[in-house]
Structure 1
Amino acid sequence: MNIKAKADTGRSKYSVKASRKGKRTPLYILLIFIAVQLAPILFITPTLNYFRGQGMDQATAAASTSGWLIVWTMGIGFIAAMILILRDKQFFNIWKGKKAGLLEAIGWGVLGFFLVYFAQIIAALIEVELFGIAPGSQNTASITKLVEVVPWALLAVVFFGPVLEELVFRRVVFGSLNQTTNFFLATAVSALVFAAVHLEFSHLLIYFSTGLVLAFLYQKTKRIITPIIAHVMLNGFVMIAQLNMEKLENFLKQLEQMQ
């Protein structure tokens, strides 16, 4: 075998290995996300008993348990996902055509926050007017209580969670389907799965509209950072509003009294 043939054989083996890794990475990311969702179940009892032993009442101990388990599981899941992605240089190379520049992608991410927020307002109005669904999210209210007890949970809610969800729902689900079907079917399926995972079926339309906009942003720029920015900003805005709701209500009351 001559030198050129050996070189070609080496490149061929590398290509096969890279191809296998490229197929496995999305699956591993999905498995990490599933593990993040299920892992807290294994540690609820010992963690709850620990906080009870610290003299906490039942409600505070339960909130502390949920808050810290979210921080640890999402944090570990985030690190594991980043390690896998760094090892697979082709993970995000799923698009044909030129990607948007970094500044353009960031700009669309910021604009995307307003698009998502606007879409959620329309979806909420439709839920109220057509289906009689009361506004307000029980999921958001529960998370806010956790953050009040465990401030570190804010990091999981505003950063770890959105990044993991975008990797799963936009890159793995939407990205994979978009390569084998078409944009509209891939967008609809990824948005529906995104909505279902949040387990608030009464507000399915709000989560579905959010998934649609985030998929559009990813398709538009071909950079995952764009939907991540929009998602992080959305969660951050909601948490700031919820944590300062009492102050906001008092401010509005003062304005009414002045008038």
Structure 2
Amino acid sequence: MKTLNLGYLFISAIYFIAFLLGPQLLYSQKYFVTYGPLALLLITIYFGRDELKLFNWSLLKERLFLRWVYKGFQYMVFTQAIGTLILGPFTHSQAEQTTALYSIAILHMIISGPVVEEVVFRKVLYNKFKNISNELTGTVVSSMFYAVIHDNMERFPIYFITGCILCSVYKKSNTIATTILIHILINAVALIANFIRQKGFFY
């Protein structure tokens, strides 16, 4: 059984404490929006520095790696599309709305968010509960937390399913690099879709 990086546990604790402070504090304060995600990203990189040194960067060019990224991204887009058909047009989470107020939030949503969240929900929560119980428990618990943390209860089922998809890809690809890249891509698509809606290009 692998021992979890204590630094990652520390990051997870900070992440959840920040959530408990409330979205109004986190997303309406300029300094929190500007420096909070950046600080978490830098702390995550610091505690993961040994893994980064050992990471095989050529993996990113391998066909199997790219296939898992493509499949995961495909399933995520499909889930979002079906969810929109069933639940109606999506409402934006507090984090997505913040990108309209602070340009730096766009960078955080594409880079800081995916990296930190994949460490917290896949690396820490999924692995922790998988080790305590089994893979199904790890997937369900981490995906439930992942859905709740996005603070958009109307879209809870979609976030839960996408969390399950990310857990599955993480398990099968055996690297968090796949889920980080998928997360980056899906957030980028969400931002582009939001921009198109705001500009009314198709209305």
Please give the range of the TM-score, normalised by the shorter of the 2 chains: 0.7 to 0.9
Change (3 A) 1:242 1:35: same
Matches within 5 A, 1:203-214: 203-214=155-166
Distance 2:181 2:79 in 1: 16
Equivalent position SS for 1:138: coil
Distance 1:158 1:72 in 2: 15
Deviation at 1:29, TM superposition (A): 2.4
Matched, 1:32 2:14: yes
What TM-score results when the alignment is normalised by the length of structure 1?
0.65
The aligned counterpart of 1:9 is none
The aligned counterpart of 2:90 is 136
Q: For 1:168-227, what per-residue CA distance to the aligned partner results, in whole angstroms no more than 9, with x for missing partners?
A: 001100022222322222111111111111122222101111101101110110100111
Distance 2:130 2:95 in 1: 32
Distance 1:145 1:122 in 2: 22
The aligned counterpart of 1:75 is 38
Q: What residue identity is the alignment partner of 1:31? A: A
Distance 1:246 1:202 in 2: 20
Distance 1:25 1:106 in 2: 29
The aligned counterpart of 1:215 is 167
Deviation at 1:123, TM superposition (A): 3.3
Distance 1:73 1:38 in 2: 14
Equivalent position SS for 1:168: helix
CA contact (8 A) 1:36 1:73 kept: no
RMSD: 3.1
Instruction: Report the number of matched residues.
Output: 196
Which residue of the other structure, out of 79, 100, 106, is the alignment partner of 1:154? 106
Give structure 1 stretches of 5+ with no counterpart.
Answer: 1-18, 45-62, 93-100, 129-133, 254-259
What TM-score results when the alignment is normalised by the length of structure 2?
0.81
Distance 1:38 1:196 in 2: 11
CA contact (8 A) 1:217 1:227 kept: yes
Q: For 1:214-249, what per-residue CA distance to the aligned partner results, in whole angstroms no more than 9, with x for missing partners?
A: 0111011010011111111111111011113244x3
Deviation at 1:38, TM superposition (A): 5.7
Change (3 A) 1:124 1:184: farther
Which residue of the other structure, out of 30, 38, 48, is the alignment partner of 1:85? 48
CA contact (8 A) 2:147 2:160 kept: yes
Distance 2:127 2:9 in 1: 12
Distance 2:97 2:7 in 1: 35
Deviation at 1:73, TM superposition (A): 0.3
CA contact (8 A) 2:139 2:167 kept: yes
In our comparison, the structure showing a higher alpha carbon Rg is 1
Distance 2:182 2:30 in 1: 24
CA contact (8 A) 1:191 1:212 kept: yes
Distance 2:195 2:15 in 1: 27
Between 1:176-185 and 1:199-208, the stretch displaced more is 176-185
Deviation at 1:83, TM superposition (A): 0.6
Distance 2:49 2:14 in 1: 15
